[in-house]
Amino acid sequence: MARVFALIMAGGVGARFWPRSREKSPKQLLPIAGEGTLIQNTVARLDGIVETKDTFIVTNRIQKAPIIKQLPTIPPNNVLVEPIGRNTAPCIGLAALFMRRIDPEAVMLVLPADHIIKDVEEFHRIISTGIQVASETKGLVTIGIQPDRPETGYGYVQILEDKEKNPYSVQGVFKVKTFAEKPNLQTAERFLESGDFVWNSGMFIWRIDSILREIGEHLPELHQGLQNIDSVLGTEKYVPTLERVYGILRGISIDYGVMEKASQVYVLKGDFGWSDVGSWDEVYRIAEKDEQGNVVIGNVILKDVKNSIIQSNGKVVGVLGIEDLIVINTDDALLVCKRGKSQEVKEIVDYLKRKRMNEFL
Amino acid sequence: MARVFALIMAGGVGARFWPRSREKSPKQLLPIAGEGTLIQNTVARLDGIVETKDTFIVTNRIQKAPIIKQLPTIPPNNVLVEPIGRNTAPCIGLAALFMRRIDPEAVMLVLPADHIIKDVEEFHRIISTGIQVASETKGLVTIGIQPDRPETGYGYVQILEDKEKNPYSVQGVFKVKTFAEKPNLQTAERFLESGDFVWNSGMFIWRIDSILREIGEHLPELHQGLQNIDSVLGTEKYVPTLERVYGILRGISIDYGVMEKASQVYVLKGDFGWSDVGSWDEVYRIAEKDEQGNVVIGNVILKDVKNSIIQSNGKVVGVLGIEDLIVINTDDALLVCKRGKSQEVKEIVDYLKRKRMNEFL
């Protein structure tokens, strides 16, 4: 089996997890759902698939130190810093440069740092298949999640009804027809009904030379930038070059920049209890509930409270006579939100940004 | 006009105002509704009626120092401390002893420290009438509030349909038929309909010798205790005697201990924008609301929020997609409560007591 690198993308803030998630303690560095932070769990989940010395993390300046602290088994030099976030395509390209220096024919596993996966055994099985397909075909593999509800919080991937089956179809590997952005409910219901849509998990598998080749073909500007960076890799010119290149790069996702345009794209259907825990509503959905349907963390006193998620650290919280509420209490900020509305938490963060209330970001 | 003393009763904690109201910063010491604390406003409201040197306050050990600090015009010696709260009858009896030493024929105005009165001019008019009636009749006068809704949070006083009008009836002074405890909604509606019930405001007016005479007649134990205290007033035996007497006294309200039994009791109908601000629901009711029906204090960001009261000190609060909610955020404690349920806040305080979580009391 080919050597396997992992890229864990840890650049985001998780604005929808305000006020728990903050610039200095973003979602992936928090124990959002039980023990271990999300990024710690993401690394632990790779045990047996990728060695820690082959695991790279791309993040930003603010998160670098806490990430190194949370992940003592990862070599600190494997924690790469982007000067500014430019979405996933530049992030993946940058990490690929480092990996190519070690082994250009190796496989690269791309994983967001902030997902939850309940069935690790099944996850390993799927990943192993993906590594095999990526390795043998030199194509691009994305992991699609079998949907169980008309979720509007995820993007979707449509599977191609392929007349001539591809050689891996018995293993649940399909060609991709199209990528679809987050749908409205009506569209999501149609997707679910049609049976040929899966959730776009944001997890990818490919050979390092394959993804760099495809970037070269479909994202010439990024390709040029990466070449400039590559030429100074390991020198003192690396940081200023990186800053100059990122300064003029467009932000673009790998999905739209590469996956939609590449010719040999496979989607691998997975069903391993996946969640991107994208919002407090999602945390509520996946959490274990008590008899009243509540999910409670911290010093919380409830009376006549149903189907709510209440978190507090240190402070006491008294809750009376409410239903379907999200209450997140931190040292300096509080969120009170109707369940089903937690996608809009981002708007509070946007407001704080506009008002330059930086201490609460 | 007779000399007039005031007794401001400031012993309570205001458990229903948790988490703003605490043992060390109880309701009457807080600016619950706008500028000035409730006790400061209570004293200010007496301007022109009672001199500050004739204003006494009865409180407990914890509140003594902050009360003296909040009320610099009141002589500190006028702030009396009860070793333990025994309801209103002992409190009134104790203050009366001090006042009797100065002028036994003077009139005593008894006021809770934590009420709101919007129309001070009308309040003055009513109080002046009450002073006249108490002074001339040597009877007991209670202030009844003209009800405008079937409130279940107040006690009621039933007015006697007096065939032979009393000499003050033209001034809105009536004889009392009976005192009624807080009713249920059905009973409160009946009270409102009948037209002969008013709210029991807990404000009283009487001559000092009158109330001590009535205590002597109807509360012999308290009378004996007060005599023991009176005999050591101003000596070093005062505090130990007070503690001994209070140690064995029953807690009893002046309403049930004296007013219900006394023969010459008048009720004076007042309508001066009175509220006992007994709960967060009541604060919401009397507060000025914005266009969405919200009452907001502090650093609060609202989106799709209606008919709610949100308070925070210092911390930022984001609120999304809710209605009819009470959110009170303090440094170490948080309340989230459905509007209409704030009477039950006391149960949270009771829970904290049972669990000996004293730092949150």
CATH number at residue A201: 3.90.550.10
A157 and A250 belong to one structural domain: yes
Band (A185; pLDDT cuts 50, 70, 90): very high
A243, A275, A307 - which closes a domain? A275
- pLDDT tens sequence across A102-127: 999 999 999 999 999 999 999 999 99
Q: Residue A145 corresponds to which amino acid?
A: I
Fill in the DSSP letter of residue A167.
Answer: T
Residues B203 and B102 in one domain: yes
Pair (A242, A213) in one structural domain: yes
Give the pLDDT score at B171: 77
Q: Does one domain contain both A215 and A337?
A: no
A53 and A109, same domain (yes or no)? yes
Give the pLDDT confidence score for residue A35 in this predicted structure: 82
3-state secondary structure of A279: coil
- Any chain A CB within 8 A of the CB of B348? yes
Q: How far is B339 from chain A (nearest CA, A)?
A: 9
Q: Which of B275, B305, B337 is the last residue of a domain?
A: B275
Number of domains composing chain A: 2
3-state DSSP of B185-208: HHHHHHHHHHCCEEEEEEEEEEEH
pLDDT given for residue A172 in this prediction: 78
Task: Please check the confidence at residue B166 and state whether its pLDDT lies above 80.
Answer: no
Structure tokens at B243: 């503690």
Q: Looking at the structure, tell me whether residues B66 and B15 fall in a common domain.
A: yes
Q: What letter represents residue A147's amino acid?
A: P
Say what the pLDDT of residue A245 is: 97
**pLDDT for A171:** 77
Task: Tell me which of A316, A343, A349 to substitute to probe the interface with B (most B C-beta atoms closer than 10 Å).
Answer: A316
- My answer on whether B271 and B338 are in the same domain is no
Flag whether residue B256 sits within 8 Å of chain A, measured between CB atoms.
no
> Which structural domain range is residue A284 located in?
280-360
Q: Does B188 lie in the same domain as B118?
A: yes
Report whether pLDDT(B59) > 70: yes
Q: What residues in A contact B315, CB-CB < 8 Å?
A: 331-334
Please work out, in degrees rounded to the nearest 5, the angle formed at the alpha carbon of residue A273 by the alpha carbons of A22 and A179: 80
Q: pTM score > 0.80 for this model?
A: yes
Distance of CA B332 to the CA centre of its chain: 27
Residues in Cβ contact with A189 at an 8 Å cutoff, skipping those fewer than 6 apart: A150
Instruction: Determine the distance in angstroms separating the CA of B183 from the nearest CA of chain A, rounded to an integer.
Output: 22
Chain B contacts of A296, Cβ < 8 Å? none
* Domain endpoint, select from A275, A308, A333: A275
Q: Which of A19, A312, A344 sits opposite B320 (nearest CB)?
A: A344
In 3D space, the residue among B55, B73, B67 whose CA is nearest the CA of residue B111 turns out to be B55
Tokens of A252: 């673009």
Give yes or no for a contact between A132 and A170, defined as CB atoms under 8 angstroms apart.
no
| A337 contacts on B by Cβ (under 8 Å) | 318-322
Q: Are residues A86 and A234 in the same domain?
A: yes
Residue B163: per-residue pLDDT: 64
Say whether A338 and B351 touch across the interface (CB within 8 A).
no
Mean pLDDT of the region A349-356: 92
Per-residue model confidence (pLDDT) at position B316 = 93
Q: Which residue carries 């790779």 as its tokens?
A: A46
Q: Judge whether A350 is closer than 8 Å to chain B, CB to CB.
A: no
* Nearest Cα to Cα of residue B134 among B207, B38, B223: B207
Are B327 and A338 an interchain contact pair (Cβ–Cβ within 8 Å)? no
Q: What is the pLDDT of residues A130-160, one digit of tens each?
A: 999 999 999 999 999 999 999 988 999 999 8
List, for residues A202-252, the tens digit of each pLDDT value: 999 999 999 999 999 999 999 999 999 999 999 999 999 999 999 999 999
A353 touches chain B (CB under 8 A): no
Do both B180 and B37 map to the same domain? yes
Residues B220 and B240 reside in one and the same domain: yes
- Are A57 and A42 in the same domain? yes
